[in-house]
Amino acid sequence: MRDALAKKEQDSFASAAQSLRQSLQDMPELAELSKQIMIDQTPEGLRIQLIDQDGRSMFKENSREPNDRARILLRAVAKVINQLPNRVTVSGHTSASALGRKADGDWSLSASRADASRQVLRSAGVDDDRIYQVSGKANSEPLYADDPTLAGNRRISIVLLREKPVLPDNL
């Protein structure tokens, strides 16, 4: 039974990922932004990352507010989130400074960006009860560890958590 539930969840995640990819292709305003979304499955769940690119940031420099591009992407992600019952985490990430150091302000900036993203998700219909955690990780988990200063390390990670179903003890 556990295997069947795990397979069902896996299929749901794959379907949700495909749905998001399809919506990015179907909507002209999202097609150009598709390079700024990375979707994968992790041990925690289905991870959707909105990633900065050189010259294509999701936030104004040192600002907590997502720009119009990021808002469009977050609303598209909200549609996918609303297809599934899973709880959600939202994490903000920054890149390292040119010297590779963590700046004190990066912690609060990454947390503020994650919370601002949560607010956009909520305004797009994601119920507050679905949000499990909002966190700022500064540059502690670079996407590109070989160069922590790359723009792609600045991102918002949204994870639809794998739910551990409640099963009777005798299974």
pLDDT value at residue 168: 47
pLDDT tens column, 69-119: 899 889 989 988 998 889 999 999 999 887 655 667 899 999 999 999 999
- Is residue 54 included in any domain, yes or no? yes
- Is residue 113 included in any domain, yes or no? yes
pLDDT tens column, 23-70: 777 777 666 777 788 888 898 999 999 999 877 899 988 899 999 989
For the domain that residue 46 is a member of, what is the CATH number? 3.30.1330.60
- Is residue 32 included in any domain, yes or no? yes
- Is residue 102 included in any domain, yes or no? yes
Residue of 65, 59, 42 lying closest to 123 (CA atoms): 65
Cβ proximity of 66 and 73 under 8 Å: no
- Is residue 166 included in any domain, yes or no? no
- Is residue 44 included in any domain, yes or no? yes
Taking residues 128-148, what's their average pLDDT? 94
Domain count, the chain: 1
- Is residue 120 included in any domain, yes or no? yes
* Domain enclosing residue 97, as ranges: 2-161
